[in-house]
Amino acid sequence: MATRILSGVQPSGQLHLGNYFGAIKQHIELQDLPGAEPYYFIADFHAMTTVQDAAKLREFVTGVALDYLALGLDSKKAVFFRQSDVPEVAELAWMLSCVTGMGLLERAHSYKDKTAKGLKPSVGLFYYPVLMAADILIYKSKLVPVGQDQVQHVEMTQDMAQYFNNIYGCEVLVRPEAKLNETAKVPGVDGEKMSKSYGNTIDLQMEGAELKKRVMSVKTDSTPVDQPKNPETCNVFALYKLVASPEETKELEAQYRAGGLGYGDAKKKLLAKIDEFFEPYRETRKDLAKNLDHVEQVLRDGAARARAVARQTLDECKKASGLS
Ligand code: ADP
Ligand code: TRP
């Protein structure tokens, strides 16, 4: 039987190296897993918890669609769509909210982290994990590839599925499992986790002088040029490893350990590799951006396929709960 894989990405800004190596790369690779049925979507409902400017939200949605397609998402292999094009998910979220205790949501780390960072504690932000559970359950997803920060949400989804099935004495909802993305933490230019909210990102679309400035600003220690350097603790090296081949990585590691290579030169090597790695993507993205109608069509076709599945599950849930 096919393994349904599902993941969503929020259109809340420009995508960066952390998003690519931490999430998108795996999503795209999973397209070719034998027996996989991948569903990927742009979580625009979720982004409304933070992006409250209509033009910006539209721009970010288009941006994420262009990014995924330019990075290799194949709409013949994966169902790719916009979350809000499948409004059934909001109906299922309501049903789940009625079988879920407040205590479960009150334990959510992401809500606590986001409000601690100053985000307005809206009902939507609190309800976020219920909508995410509906996203996962409505497609009867088995595997959910996410970063560490989302694992708790998948565990909450398992609980919500069980509450629903127990209360209504049915087996409609399928228990999903989180699949941890391989690259745990890509450092930003300041050495902290690369994140839009820390302003320390290297964005996938950056090029030329802007990219150079970012790369040259990666934080290093003050080991003098002639001294040996420790690749394991160096942010430049951590980023280089992601974009260079294993041989090139070994070569740079040897140069670090031998001494004689300055951080300025290491950063230039990093810059060249980032350019080489992402140049084809940037070109493809520019071409795709000339034909946004095509991009829109891909999302609509994806939504039609996703919606057929979502409707089926929703009908089963309605029957089980007495709504029909
Ligand atoms: P941001 O922190 O920039 O707001 P998101 O929370 O939107 O990023 O993350 C989207 C996806 O990218 C998630 O699956 C997350 O785990 C992954 N991701 C984001 N930043 C990094 C990083 N620095 N290292 C590894 N993965 C990351
Ligand atoms: N909350 C996820 C994030 O911020 C995005 C998301 C929404 C998601 N719905 C999902 C991820 C369902 C996986 C499955 O990264």
The catalytic site residues sit at 114, 193, 196
Tokens of 98: 């009625």
Q: Which atom of ligand 2 is nearest to the CA of 43?
A: 7
pLDDT of amino acid 183:
79
How confident is the model over 9-55, as pLDDT tens digits? 999 999 999 999 989 999 999 999 999 999 999 999 999 999 999 99
Mean residue pLDDT of the chain comes to 96
By percentage, how much of the chain surpasses pLDDT 70?
100
Which atom of ligand 1 is nearest the CA belonging to 193? 23
Identify the residue whose C-alpha is closest to ligand 2 atom 4.
10
Q: Is the pLDDT of residue 182 over 90?
A: no
Structure tokens at 83: 């979350």
pLDDT at 208: 96
Residue found under tokens 């919500």: 160
Element containing residue 251 per DSSP (H, E): helix 246-258
Taking only the tens place, the pLDDT of each residue in 60-108 is 999 999 999 999 999 999 999 999 999 999 999 999 999 999 999 999 9
Q: Whose CA is nearest to atom 22 of ligand 1?
A: 18
Q: Where in the chain is the domain with CATH 3.40.50.620?
A: 3-185+292-321
Whose Cα sits closest to atom 19 in ligand 1?
19
Band (pLDDT 50/70/90 cuts) for residue 173 is very high
Residue 47, both tokens: 């982004």
Candidate from 67, 117, 190, 195 with most ligand 1 atoms within 8 A of CB, to mutate: 195
Residue 220, pLDDT > 90, answer yes
Q: For residue 195, report the distance from its CA to the centre of ligand 1, in Å.
A: 6
Q: Which residues lie with the beta carbon below 6 Å from any ligand 1 atom?
A: 9-10, 12, 18-19, 22-23, 146-147, 149-150, 183, 185-186, 193-197
To the question of domain 196-286 being in CATH 3.40.50.620, the answer is: no
The CA–CA distances, whole Å, from 165 to 173, 203, 258, 311, 319 equal: 7, 43, 61, 18, 12
| % of the chain beyond a pLDDT of 90 | 93
Cα of 299 from ligand 2 centre, angstroms: 18
Q: Is the CB of 10 under 6 A from ligand 2?
A: yes
CATH number at 3-185+292-321: 3.40.50.620
Q: How far is the CA of 312 from the centre of ligand 1 (A)?
A: 32
Q: Provide the pLDDT for residue 181.
A: 82
Q: How far is the CA of 42 from the centre of ligand 2 (A)?
A: 9
**Whose structure tokens read 């292999």?**
77
Using the predicted structure, report yes or no on whether residue 202 has a pLDDT greater than 80.
Answer: yes
What pTM did the predictor assign?
0.94
What ligand has the least distance to the C-alpha of 13?
A: 1
Q: Is the pLDDT of residue 184 over 80?
A: no
* Residue with CA nearest ligand 1 atom 21: 18
Q: Which amino acid is at 125?
A: L
Per-residue pLDDT reduced to its tens digit, 234-257? 999 999 999 999 999 999 999 999
Indicate where the chain has its CATH 1.10.240.10 domain(s): 196-286
Measured in Å, residue 9 CA sits from the centre of ligand 2 at 6
Q: Is residue 142 within 8 Å of 177, Cβ to Cβ?
A: yes
Beta bridge partners of 143: 5, 177
Q: Is the model's pLDDT at 300 over the cut of 90?
A: yes
Distance of CA 37 to the CA centre of its chain: 18
Per 3-state DSSP, what percentage of the chain is helix, strand, and coil (rounded to 5)? 60, 10, 30
